[in-house]
Structure 1
Amino acid sequence: VCSSGVAWGSLQVTLLGAPLHLTLHSPAPCIFEPPGCKEMEVAAIAGESVQLLPVKLPETWTELTWEVTLDSAETYRIVTFNKVDPPDLGSSPHFINRVTFHPESLSLQFDPVKKSDRGLYSLLIDIGGGREDRTKFRVSVFEPVPEPTVLCDSVTCVSETCNYNLSCRVRDGGEHVTYSWTHTAGGAVVPNESILHISLSPRDAHLAVTCTAQNPASNSSTTASAKDLCAGNSVCRIALPTLTPCARNTS
């Protein structure tokens, strides 16, 4: 494992014009990259501004380099910097006019970040004596999750209970999207399912159900009434005259 102590990294995201600063924790940076060293996971939203910010650095160092191996298998040196000369920027057209190195914080800023920027970013610091300090950032980039659509698949009414089957989807399916539900009947939470099966009495049918779609970088929610969703396209297999509405789909 890595040497003892704590290394800090942070992620700064500009969302809807307001900066959001998140702090990431990791085991201490690895000397000579021993097996089993963990990486910092950074999930970013495509088109936003993202900063890879190493907060704690070695007390003494002579030179550092930011480099990356993209998921496309391309490898680039992004910048090399010492305390005497100006930063030596890499010549890769992949990052031109989008990636800025900040000498005061030794950080990299992507503005905007693209899905093609996915990869493993390494901060290599020469601390003298032939030793090298490494901090890694595994950067994943996702599209923002659009507002999901909640649909009524069916409703079956039996005696004093109606059984609703609701589904939730984002357009085009999304990438690494998961779903969870909440509803006002006891504050119940149904995680990681795109389908909700819920049984309600007629007096409870107006309760609100909320579907939340999320990927590792963003989330979006839709709230609706189960009764209102199923009013126009429900299928009533068995219904008593006292249960209203319980319309038959004639389409």
Structure 2
Amino acid sequence: MGHSSQDPYLCWTTRLLGVISLLCACSTLAKSSEAHGSGIKGFRTRTYLKAIRGGSVLLQVIQEPEDPKIEEITWGVTSDSNSTYMLRLQNGKEDPLWFSLQGKYKQRVQVPSMSSLRINNLTSQDSGQYWALIMFQTGREIKAVFHLTVYDPVPLAQIWTTSASITPSWCNVTLECGAREAVEVLSVTWEVQGPHSEQEQRGAPGPPNPWTLALSLPLRQPNVSLTCVLSNPVDQKNATLQLLDLCSPDSHGEHPAVLMGGIRMGYVAVILILASGIRLWMMHEKMMEKRRSRN
């Protein structure tokens, strides 16, 4: 009788253990089936590439160690949601089989290996989405997608001095950086080079426009160089200006800008004096002519 009271408990425990074992087995089977299924269906990779117009770009397919041998690979281009087959390369054949787009790409495309495609002499029209469908000898398939953006080269940078003035202690300059050619996706940064003591600034660093820089530098040591850097994601150009040429007094103690202003004022004064002299001479001649007519 003592053991009969424990039989329901033992029976319930045994059934519970059996259910737990069954659930674990089902979970393991599901994970195994999922992993096997993903291997059959393959997967997709995405790569984002940036290149410069006139340069080249390499589209490299990602290979996995367990599937090292490619049976064939098909390359294509997607434009306006329409996919176009470009070429197909099969294992054992050196020359690719072209489907279309020969006129646009054939003279510029190289196939360094079964898993890569190189496009040379890039143009702005080459920006877009490329894809490769890879079939391995094991029957597995992978689709690789490449998003390519082709940028224009950055033109030569230039610095213009929009204003320059000198106070007894400070040199105030406003500079503008830019390029004569219009280029999209262009950013500008300023770099100041010189001893730390020379980089003192007074007031705000300038307007919020990044193309313009306003500085107030002490006259005691104006040997500071400013570099404007124009850049896009793949290229950059810079221009450098020595503030010594703008802020340093000349041998007579005058700033070049001040001297130029004085020379201009001198020319104006000479012209005014000459004009006044001519006017007085003409008035004198008229008076003399009137006197002669009366006599």
Per the normalisation by structure 1, the TM-score is 0.67
Q: 1:221 aligns with which of 238, 241, 256?
A: 238
2:99 is matched with 90
2:129 is matched with 120
1:230 CA drift (Å): 7.9
Cα separation, partners in 2 of 1:74 and 1:46, compared to 1, 3 Å: farther
The one-letter amino acid paired with 1:76 is T
1:51 is matched with 58
1:205 is matched with 222
In structure 2, the gaps of 5 or more residues are 1-40, 200-204, 266-295
1:243 CA drift (Å): 7.0
Tell me the distance in 1 between the aligned counterparts of 2:143 and 2:211.
41
1:177 is matched with 186
Choose 107-116 or 77-86, whichever is displaced more.
77-86
1:245 CA drift (Å): 4.3
| 1:99 lines up with 2:109 in the alignment | yes
2:172 is matched with 163
1:134 is matched with 143
Tell me the distance in 2 between the aligned counterparts of 1:246 and 1:207.
18
Choose 179-188 or 104-113, whichever is displaced more.
179-188
Task: Tell me if structure 1 keeps the 8 A contact 2:70–2:114.
Answer: no
Cα separation, partners in 2 of 1:45 and 1:130, compared to 1, 3 Å: same
2:26 is matched with none
Matches of residues 141-160 of structure 1 in structure 2 within 5 Å? 141-160=150-169
Tell me the distance in 2 between the aligned counterparts of 1:226 and 1:73.
54
Aligned pairs, number? 205
Task: Tell me if structure 1 keeps the 8 A contact 2:178–2:211.
Answer: yes
Cα separation, partners in 2 of 1:50 and 1:198, compared to 1, 3 Å: same
Higher fraction of strand: 1
CA-based RMSD: 3.4
Higher fraction of helix: 2
Aligned-pair identity (%): 26
The one-letter amino acid paired with 1:194 is W
Tell me the distance in 1 between the aligned counterparts of 2:254 and 2:42.
70
Cα separation, partners in 2 of 1:44 and 1:246, compared to 1, 3 Å: same
Tell me the distance in 2 between the aligned counterparts of 1:181 and 1:50.
30
Cα separation, partners in 2 of 1:246 and 1:183, compared to 1, 3 Å: same
In structure 1, the gaps of 5 or more residues are 1-29, 232-241
Choose 221-230 or 193-202, whichever is displaced more.
221-230
The one-letter amino acid paired with 1:106 is S
Point out the structure with max Rg over C-alpha: 2
Tell me the distance in 1 between the aligned counterparts of 2:139 and 2:183.
46
Tell me the distance in 2 between the aligned counterparts of 1:133 and 1:113.
26
Task: Tell me if structure 2 keeps the 8 A contact 1:64–1:124.
Answer: yes
Instruction: String of CA shifts for 1:44-98, please: whole Å, max 9, x gaps.
Output: 121123322336454244322111224x666432221221444212321221311
